[in-house]
Amino acid sequence: MALPTLMSSSLQTEIRDMLMDCGLFDPLLPEDFHVAAGYFNISSIARDEVIFLEGDAGTFMCILHSGQVAVQKTNHEGQRLTIATLRSGRAFGEMAVLDGERRSASCVAASDCVLLNLGKDSLEKMLNEAPRVAAKIIRAIAIALSKRLRMADGQLLSQQI
């Protein structure tokens, strides 16, 4: 299995360690993390910087390594309201990467952040080059989305009672 050669081994090791820390991909084996690291990038985002806007095309997803991210929705008056604050280990932006739809919310750095990014193109490349690892990553993302949907369902139900 060939890994992308554009990345230095120290950067790949740093990304691997960050992936192992996030908790999202616990089912992966140590060698899976090493393979997956070749498809992710790291970015540093300053406080108040827009990561993406509601309605944008979904070309990448993020995993928050450090910092906080505000998830915002636009109300009927055109104001962005914060509906959630994400902390370390949370993935976001994955819905648009998986389903090809536009972003359902905006994400803005609530503090200085370090993010792991997985582009839609990189995910496709991983599916072709390392399908077993890509399947584990997609399954972990699907499980995280399912948990979030179940929580939202519970919140809706509690509001109706």
Write down the pTM of the prediction.
0.85
Distance CA 100, CA 94 (A): 10
Superfamily of domain 11-145: Jelly Rolls (2.60.120.10)
Query: What per-residue confidence (pLDDT) applies to 99?
Result: 87
Bridge-based pairing of strands 69-74 and 106-109 is antiparallel
pLDDT tens digit sequence for 80-124: 999 999 999 899 999 888 888 899 999 999 999 999 999 999 999
pLDDT tens digit sequence for 38-73: 999 999 999 999 999 999 999 999 999 999 999 999
Task: Please say if the pLDDT value at position 4 is more than 50.
Answer: no
By the 8 A CB rule, do 34 and 83 touch?
no
